[in-house]
Structure 1
Amino acid sequence: MIKSRLLKVTGLNKSEVAKKIEDVLKVKNNNLDIELLTNDTEVKVKITAGDRDKKRLDGMIEILESKIRERLGDYIFGVDEEALEKVVGVLLLMRKKTLAVAESCTGGLISHRLTNIPGSSGYFQGSVVAYSEGAKTKILHVPVETIKQFGAVSRETVQAMAKGIKETSGADLGLAVTGIAGPGGGERKPVGLVYIAVAADNAIFAEEHHFSGNREVIKLKASQMALDMVRRYLLKE
């Protein structure tokens, strides 16, 4: 009898995961194997075990999973086929929070992922794709001076976007993303530069990220990191 389990990780690359679980990766024999699988947005730690006894088989996997979770902590967002957007939705329901999204460089991808989950109307208020500077100022009420001083792709602008979508929608949390997906970029603001912010009642949290890849991949990575930022915020609630 052979059984496998996938532990899904985001926020770390393959080499970072390997370093954190270096000792566990050495635990291999004829009945046990651990491998790291990757795609553009996540690393999957695959545990495979074989044994004639189901109870012993389950025990081997549980022991290894426990060791890996000790080392990776909250970087693990799901198991097997769980999608990050589903995990975020479950957390929003558990915390009784609603979410609204303001997207620029991701062009609606975050909202698309969230609404792919059945029942998302229970926590997803709505979204705005504010691609132009005019949309950011008129719809999200980003101050014109903020964009003039710091630019449309900046920490200050994404914070204002998150605040604007939260207030406009009436959601508990406002999530915003702005960045440069390419192919055009500059020395100060290169392709792959993305700012993400989460606005709550009493605070706004913002992060700067640098993603590699083509336009489509950068959008996908930005959507993943944005959803994960909401997940990490909710875990601390």
Structure 2
Amino acid sequence: MTVPQRVAIVTGGSQGIGRQVAQRLAADGFAVVVNFATGKVAAEQVVAAIVAAGGEAVAVPADVADEVAVAELFDVAERTYGGIDVVVHSAGVASHAPVTELDLAELDRVHRVNVRGTFVVDQQAARRIRPGGALVNISSTTPRLSMPGYAAYASSKAAVDAITLILARELRGRDVTVNAVAPGATGTDLFLAGKDEQTIAAMAAMSPMGRLGDPADTAEVVAFLAGPGRWINGQVVYVNGGAA
């Protein structure tokens, strides 16, 4: 008996954690829809790497906060591969400044992508993921750390946690798990941007492991939740090397 291929959508799949997740799920046998907002070339490189390794993937653009574009993203996944089993929502942006100095336009940008984007993607995922599937939102350890300068970003990720936990309970009886994975400081372009070596070293030292996380550390946990981790549901799983 042939086992039907499982299908995953990874938002923000052209770079950072999303890129690593897309490649890991492909290695696990998923056909992967690699979503991107502006990084078309990078997304196509991810697809090429997956195909070269013997997998299946396609790159699809969509602004995650645009409900029409996200609906089309899910439509493409269903038309191309016949259904959706896993959605990993990794797309996000960051902006760091003290509350007294933060440009409110930046606050709106962060919350539009990170909060509204999560709601829009999760809404489509909740409607379309097949039984036995999983939704994984990428959150952050920052809401637990209360670090100065992180109010905009941390508050947006606290909202991601809330949406995740509530949606898990709203999907009672659907056989679909809903979890968030909350990385600590991870060596991605999003994290490294604008930070000097001293700051990076200090944040790496927050973990008893004495290093920054690697995107592969998070991808490994996501792959578990997307596959065998069926009894984990309605949780925020911290992947931070013990930093908090």
TM over 0.5: no
- Which structure dedicates a bigger proportion of its chain to strand? 1
Return the TM-score normalized by structure 2: 0.36
| Greater C-alpha radius of gyration | 1
